[in-house]
Chain A
């Protein structure tokens, strides 16, 4: 029995199989519509994350399965002081597979250690959120046709953004990827990431302004820059527009450059960009469902 704790739990080959399956699901949804009949997914969410939970639930319903669970700690037995180890032992008696979200880092791993059913980490604090990373990879592979040979710009808060760190680690396993990190100086990628890239001989550069590099990007991954991350209001006001993607910046970009965003967006992508063919962030949501479907099938060993 396998669990998914970290996006790197799967080898590149295993990921390829998973993505092939996801693409087959995309093409032939009817073939998979009843494959999980009689199976139950437990969504154990110790903190609310409506989008992630709905994506998991949609995935299971699309496969013909059913869903049970809780959507915040208050409605779970955690509010009575039950440990994660005890909860998963009980959930193991009710469901066939579990997606767990927890504010404490490592909680899904503790659950996996005690579980009789596969556990998927649906986000644990600032630590990992592997299905977001798998979503990003599937989106890139599906829309670009490959997971190698491109220049990707990551823009916004690169210091605290778990999604970004995880994506960089995942992409570092593929051939000939060049990274451009676009952020204010106080929100640069952490040293351990740039050290890892140097060690692996992967090219990267750090720039302050999106406009200065957008022309050479094949992909642009946008994230939010939060006001409270800045040391002072002056810097925020001075820098914030560098990280807002609008039509004028899109005009500088190549005609095949895709724009991704883990969502929710606030104002870092202006709505006028939504109708641009290169905006892929809503397609990304759809790929999130496909990849979770493929994952559920794989972990339940129902993939054919």
Chain B
């Protein structure tokens, strides 16, 4: 397996579904941060066959990881300090997601109002249903 060095402080996001690492890179807005990121694609995994891994060297309170739960809550988040895993973060579904997904309802006000944030609210935690704050359309209803 490709060898990527240890990180001193930051996160290792493990068990990412193979091929999804780049979209997570964007959702976490890592492109806007000035930090070292390693993207490992198609690593071998006993559990999953293939998986992706993201290693991010950054201050540990720099990233908002709640959104990961929305994208895929099988991801394991290892918190690294002084080169060691100090914590495994449990992912909780965020109450609200801002500007991560877009409302696809063509009749929604988000389709015309300038600079309106796209906000989705967790309306049913059991069924993991998010609805647009404005038009209440269920996320995933239209692809």
Contacts and interface: CB of A to CB of B under 8 A. Distances in A.
Contacts of B111: 104
A84 B105 contact: no
Given A105-B108, A106-B133, 9 more contacts: A83-B114, A85-B113, A104-B108, A106-B108, A106-B109, A106-B135, A110-B134, A127-B107, A127-B135
Contact of B110 (A106, A126, A127): A106
Nearest to B103: A106
Nearest to A102: B109
A110 B114 CA distance: 11
A103 interface: yes
The 9 closest A-B pairs by CB, nearest first: A106-B134, A105-B135, A104-B109, A106-B109, A107-B109, A106-B135, A125-B107, A105-B107, A105-B108
23 contacts: A83-B113, A83-B114, A102-B109, A104-B107, A104-B108, A104-B109, A105-B105, A105-B134, A105-B135, A106-B109, A106-B132, A106-B133, A106-B135, A107-B109, A107-B113, A107-B134, A109-B109, A109-B134, A110-B113, A110-B116, A110-B134, A126-B107, A127-B136
Nearest to A103: B107
A216 B8 CA distance: 74
A127 B105 CA distance: 11
Nearest to A106: B134
B86 interface: no
Contacts of A107: 109, 113, 134
Interface in A83-126: 83-85, 102-107, 109-110, 124-126
Contacts of B110: 106
Contacts, number: 48
Interface of B: 105, 107-114, 116, 132-137
Interface of A: 83-85, 102-107, 109-110, 124-127
B113 A84 contact: yes
Contacts of B114: 83
Contacts of A125: 107, 135
Among A83, A103, A105, A126: residue with most chain B CB under 10 A? A105
A103 B114 CA distance: 16
Nearest to B137: A105
B107 A84 contact: no
B133 A109 contact: yes
A109 B121 CA distance: 14
Contacts of A83: 113-114
Contacts of A106: 108-110, 132-136
A110 B107 contact: no
